[in-house]
Amino acid sequence: MTIEPVTVPLVEARHLVKHFPVRGPGFFARAREVVRAVDGVSLQVAPGEIVALVGESGCGKSTVGRLLVRLLDPTSGDVLFDGESIFALGPRELRAARRRFQIVFQDPDASLDPRLTVGQSVAEGLEIHRLARGRALRDRVADLLAQVGLLADHAARYPHELSGGQKQRVGIARALAVEPRFIVLDEAVSALDVSVQAQIVNLLLDLRARRGLAYLFVSHDLALVSQIADRVAVMYLGEIVEEAPADRLFAKPLHPYTQALLAATPVPDPERTRQRLLLPGEPPSAIDPPPGCRFHPRCARAIERCRIEAPARREIATENRRATCHLIDAG
Ligand code: SF4
């Protein structure tokens, strides 16, 4: 499913910047350096759209996910949800707004309280937001468990009695309980077996079809992304370097970094072959990113200009895509 230009975004990140101060040893040490985890990210997610945010570990994609649901405050920039800044909300407004955007993490154990049964965990959000109680609450929990493919009996079990895939389903049921419109899935299926991954991906697609949910699918797994995303944004060292409808990006990546990432990924379609490109070395430090194009020390196509001048974002309007590279012509 390809969604053409976003007109009314549900979620909009505007020039998001998140720098983390790095303190030296000692209690009174002052922060002299900053990790530039996110450095000017703009991104939109339309209602019902699945946008994947991909890149190597440490590129800043999880930080973007946390900023979009206000688990972190930005250094600068803004996030609009339905046209309203989520950082302008007071504590009471934020608590109410949290119903509309949720996050599911990679490790379900981190979000499940081992002392609570599955039923109590799923009911928690419904109780906090006073959405149901008594018999209606129990029915709602049973319905949510059914929606994520669990049995009503699972409500009485504790997290340690469940498999990893079952725990992740509970995490998704918890997120769904408050009827959000947008969910950040932060590597939410990365730790699961391939067969369980496929089940959860089908579940997410089914929930999108039934409820019109939008997702930001944060992942380093491009094969998985190709199965679920409408649009893909590729991050490198705190910046989005390419963004395109998923089918176009996988068929013809434009940015040398995207090309290298895809070349390192198994191709699901045996008819298609890709020239293997080499992506040498580790990403440079986000404390002191290289001048010019941040990718230039690893780019096989770098020219002298790349070392000096940061490339501007080029829009290829006819294909609804954009990329940040000196070698790409706008069109
Ligand atoms: Fe490579 Fe230069 Fe393009 Fe950066 S701007 S991706 S270094 S060719």
Residue 166 lies in a domain: no
Residue 4's closest CA among 187, 207, 228, 245? 245
Instruction: Evaluate whether 95 touches 146 at the Cβ level (below 8 Å).
Output: no
* Nearest atom within ligand 1 for CA of residue 293: 4
Residue 263 lies in a domain: no
Residue 291 lies in a domain: no
E-only strand ranges, the chain: 11-23, 31-45, 50-54, 76-81, 84-85, 101-104, 182-186, 214-219, 231-236, 239-245, 313-316, 321-324
- Per-block mean pLDDT, blocks of 10 residues, the chain (331 long): 62 97 70 88 96 93 97 97 95 91 88 93 92 91 91 94 91 91 92 82 90 94 92 97 96 94 68 50 84 94 95 90 90 61
Pocket-forming residues, ligand 1, beta carbon under 6 Å = 255-256, 293, 295-296, 299, 301-302, 306, 311, 325-327
Instruction: Evaluate whether 158 touches 114 at the Cβ level (below 8 Å).
Output: yes
Residue 215 lies in a domain: yes
Per-residue model confidence (pLDDT) at position 42: 96
Q: What are φ and ψ of residue 250, in 5° steps?
A: -75, -30
Residues written for the chain: 331
* Nearest atom within ligand 1 for CA of residue 311: 5
Tell me how far the alpha carbon of residue 307 lies from the centroid of ligand 1, in angstroms.
9
Per-residue model confidence (pLDDT) at position 55: 92
The residue range of the domain holding 225 is 11-23+32-100+180-253
Tell me how far the alpha carbon of residue 51 lies from the centroid of ligand 1, in angstroms.
24
Q: Distances from the Cα of 115 to the Cαs of 54, 157, 160, in angstroms?
A: 34, 10, 10
Kindly state the tokens that stand for 141: 């929990």
Residue 64: which CATH number? 3.40.50.300
Instruction: Evaluate whether 236 touches 228 at the Cβ level (below 8 Å).
Output: no
Neighbours of 192 (CB within 10 A): 20
d(CA 116, CA 161): 12
Tell me how far the alpha carbon of residue 292 lies from the centroid of ligand 1, in angstroms.
9
Tell me how far the alpha carbon of residue 279 lies from the centroid of ligand 1, in angstroms.
13
Ligand 1 binding pocket mutation candidate from 235, 293, 305 (most atoms within 8 A of CB): 293
Atom 3 of ligand 1, residue of closest alpha carbon: 325
Residue 118 lies in a domain: no
Residue 183's closest CA among 101, 258, 112? 101
- pTM of the predicted model, to two decimals? 0.89
Burial of 278 (0-12, 13-18, 19+ CB in 10 A): exposed
Tell me how far the alpha carbon of residue 300 lies from the centroid of ligand 1, in angstroms.
8
Tell me how far the alpha carbon of residue 144 lies from the centroid of ligand 1, in angstroms.
47
d(CA 238, CA 240): 7
Residue 235's closest CA among 32, 76, 59? 59
* Nearest atom within ligand 1 for CA of residue 300: 1
Residue 50 lies in a domain: yes
Residue with tokens 């995303």: 229
Axis crossing angle, helix 194-211 with helix 164-177, rounded to the nearest 10: 20
Atom 7 of ligand 1, residue of closest alpha carbon: 296
Ligand 1 binding pocket mutation candidate from 306, 307, 313 (most atoms within 8 A of CB): 306
* Nearest atom within ligand 1 for CA of residue 256: 6
Per-residue model confidence (pLDDT) at position 189: 86
Question: Taken in order 162, 195, 143, 122, is the CA torsion positive or negative?
Answer: positive
Could you give the number of structural domains in the chain? 1
Provide the 3-class DSSP secondary structure of residue 299.
Answer: coil
Per-residue model confidence (pLDDT) at position 60: 94
E-only strand ranges, 187-280: 214-219, 231-236, 239-245
* Nearest atom within ligand 1 for CA of residue 241: 6
Kindly state the tokens that stand for 23: 């303190």
Tell me how far the alpha carbon of residue 315 lies from the centroid of ligand 1, in angstroms.
16
d(CA 74, CA 63): 10
Residue 123 lies in a domain: no
Provide the 3-class DSSP secondary structure of residue 244.
Answer: strand
Residue 70 lies in a domain: yes
